[in-house]
Structure formats: structure tokens, C-alpha cells
Amino acid sequence: MTSASNSPSSNSSSSPMRKIIVLGATSGIAVEVQRQLARRGYDLLLVARSPERLAALQSDLLARGAAQVLTCPADLARIEKHGSIFEFVRRSFAGYDTVLLAYGSMHNQKDSESSVEILLDELNINFVSASALLTVFAADLEERRTGCIAAITSVAGDRGRRSNYVYGSAKGALSLFLQGLRSRLHPAGVKVITIKPGPVQTAMTDHVPNASRFADPELVARDIVHALERRSPDVLYTPKIWRFIMSAVEHIPETVFKRLSF
């Protein structure tokens, strides 16, 4: 676990949101979000599996203007490690005010239809481990009566589709979890933002046909950063058009929907 800073502990004062923890810092969307946060001079704590990738990100984000970048290599899918991650946060990044959960996994749906192991892995990464981790941070922020929790779910979680329902159900469960969490933390003044991107061009979707028509991660990141800074809205669809697409999709009667192959 390493730390590096541009100007030690000078920038972390006054402004309401300056210290952000990114869980899954090496995911495609997270990388873009962090760049934009770096340009605005934030303090960042990056959590992800690979120490080498974290080191490359750390130097890049410092060069691009981040006030401070700490890294914490950890496999977030392993719930038994969550305690030590939080311990690190308490020791080294105590004044954090925002947590962005940005990791996820999208297997080929066909694989999780034939392998329970892959199915459980998909559910564990996208939902079980995510909700476990957020519970730890929620308790802390609730006690401090401040801050913001944001998590990247997916429009795929709004309706179960033939081609992608395993990923969709895990993300949908996470969306429901966040909805409840938002209500629970409301009295404490802690904001919870559910981020629902449409398909985005990242390494996670490279294997999907037509990936080149997916949204530019830079634009999606811009919406996310904007939401983090305003701590609003409760539910962010990005690109915005997906709010309308999904509200239409949700109104298709099930008797029709079950016949659709997408």
C-alpha cells in the first residue's frame, strides 16, 4: 500500500468533496472518472487487484493533477479481505467523504447458463461482494453523518433479458440494495447515487458485438463526476437517453417481452 502526493496534505481542506475512494480503480469507467477527478485536484484512494496497474494509475493521476493518490491492492471479490481494506482506509484516508464502487464482471451469459460456478462468481462479484463492502462504508458514513456513496450498476439491471439476465440480475439486485440504502442513510444526510450506464466501450464489453456503437467512457465519466460533485441525482442514467429507453423497455408487457431475444 503506497501513497504519493503532489503537495502533501495541503489540498484536502475546505471544499466539501475532496477525498474519494474508488473501489475497482482499474475498471474502464473508473479510469476515466479518476482522470477527470485528478484534473480537478482531488485526493484519491484506489483499490484494485493488480499492484502494477495501480502503480501506473497512481503516477498518471498525480501527473494529471490529483492532490494525492493512495493505492491499496486487494481482491474486492474476497469478502474476508474487506476488513483489512477498511482498516487501511481508517488509518490512511480517514477523512474521505465519497465512495465510488466501480468494479464488476460480465461473463459471456452462455457460460453461466451451463456452469453454476461461473453463475455464482458473477453474482458474487457484482452483487454479494459489492453489497458487503458498501455495508461497511455505510456504517462509517452513517455514524459520521456525512458523505456520499455511489455505485455503478447497469441498465441491464432494469429488466431481465434473455441474452444477459445473469449479469442483469446481479446489477438489478445491487440497484435495489442501493435504493434501500439510500432511504436508510437519508436521515443521516448521507447521499446514495445509483449509476446506471448504458453499454460503454471498455475492456469489459470488447467481446460484445457492435461494441463500437457503445458510449464513449469519457462522456459517461463526465456525467458521473458531475453527479459526484452535486451529490445528485439519486439515480443517474448515462448517457441520458437511457432513462427514456429503459422506461419504454419497462413498459413492454411480459407476454411480449419474453418473446424478445435481445
Partner 1 sequence: MPSQIAATLRTKAASAVPTDKYLSWGRYPKAAHEHVYRPAWSDQVPGIMQAAPSGSLLAYGLGRSYGDSCLNADRALVDCRRLNRILGFDESAGMLRCEGGVTLTDIVDVYLPQGWFLPVTPGTQFVTVGGAIANDVHGKNHHRAGTFGAHVQQLGLQRSNDGLVFCNRERNDDMFRATIGGLGLTGLIAWADIRLRRVAGPWIDAELIPFRSLAEFIGLSRESDGRFEYTVAWLDCFAGKNLRGIFFRGNHSAETRQTSPPKRGPKLPFTLPEWMLNRYSVKAFNELYYRVHAAKHGPSRIRYDSFFYPLDSVRQWNLLYGKRGFLQYQCVIPETNVAAFEELLERIARSGMGSFLGVLKQFGSAPAAGMLSFPRPGLTLALDFAMRGERTLELMRSLDEVVQQSGGALYPAKDARMSPAMFEASFPRWRSFVPYIDPKMSSSFWRRVTEAQ
| 28 binding partner 1? (CB under 8 A) | yes
Residue 11 CA to residue 7 CA, distance in Å, equals 8
110-169 binders of partner 1 (CB under 8 A): none
Nearer to partner 1, 153 or 202 (CB): 202
Rounded least distance, CB 164 to partner 1, Å: 15
C-alpha 47: how far from chain center:
12
Helix (H) or strand (E) holding 49: none
CB 163 within 8 A of CB 262: yes
Q: Which one among 2, 9, 15, 50 touches partner 1, defined by CB under 8 A?
A: 50
**Stretch of residues binding partner 1 (CB under 8 A), selected from 15-23, 52-60, 132-140, 183-191:** 52-60
Q: At 108, which amino acid appears?
A: N
Of 50-58, 81-89, 115-123, 150-158: span binding partner 1 (CB under 8 A): 50-58
Do residues 228 and 17 make contact, with C-beta atoms less than 8 angstroms apart?
Answer: yes
Cα separations in angstroms, 193 against 15, 21, 64, 151, 177: 20, 14, 26, 7, 11
How far apart CA 81 and CA 78 sit, in angstroms, is 6
Distance CA 96, CA 85 (A): 14
Using the minimum distance from each CB to partner 1, give the nearer residue, 54 or 181. Answer: 54
Interface positions, 183-212, toward partner 1 (CB under 8 A):
202-203, 206-207, 209-212
Interface with partner 1 includes 52 (CB under 8 A)?
A: yes
260 binding partner 1? (CB under 8 A)? no
Residue 57 interacting with partner 1 (CB under 8 A): yes
Q: Three-state SS across 154-218?
A: CHHHCCCCCCCHHHHHHHHHHHHHHHHHHHHHHHHCCEEEEEEECCECCHHHCCCCCHHHCECHH
> Which of 59/92 has CB closer to partner 1?
59
Cis peptide before 51 (omega within 30 of 0): no
Binding-site size, partner 1 (CB under 8 A): 21
Interaction between residue 65 and partner 1 (CB under 8 A): yes
34 binds partner 1 (CB under 8 A): no
Stretch that binds partner 1, among 55-63, 115-123, 132-140, 169-177 (CB under 8 A): 55-63
107 binds partner 1 per the rule CB under 8 A: no
Q: Does 222 bind partner 1 (CB under 8 A)?
A: no
Using only the alpha carbons of the chain, give its radius of gyration: 18
The separation between CA 235 and the C-alpha centre of its own chain, rounded to angstroms, equals 13
Query: Which residue, 258, 262, 230, 232, is CA-closest to 245?
Result: 262
Closer to partner 1 by Cβ: residue 52 or 254: 52
Q: Which of 59, 92, 115, 183 binds partner 1 (CB under 8 A)?
A: 59
Cβ at position 134, least distance to partner 1 in Å: 25
Site of interaction with partner 1 (CB under 8 A): 26, 28, 31, 50, 52-53, 56-57, 59-60, 63-65, 202-203, 206-207, 209-212
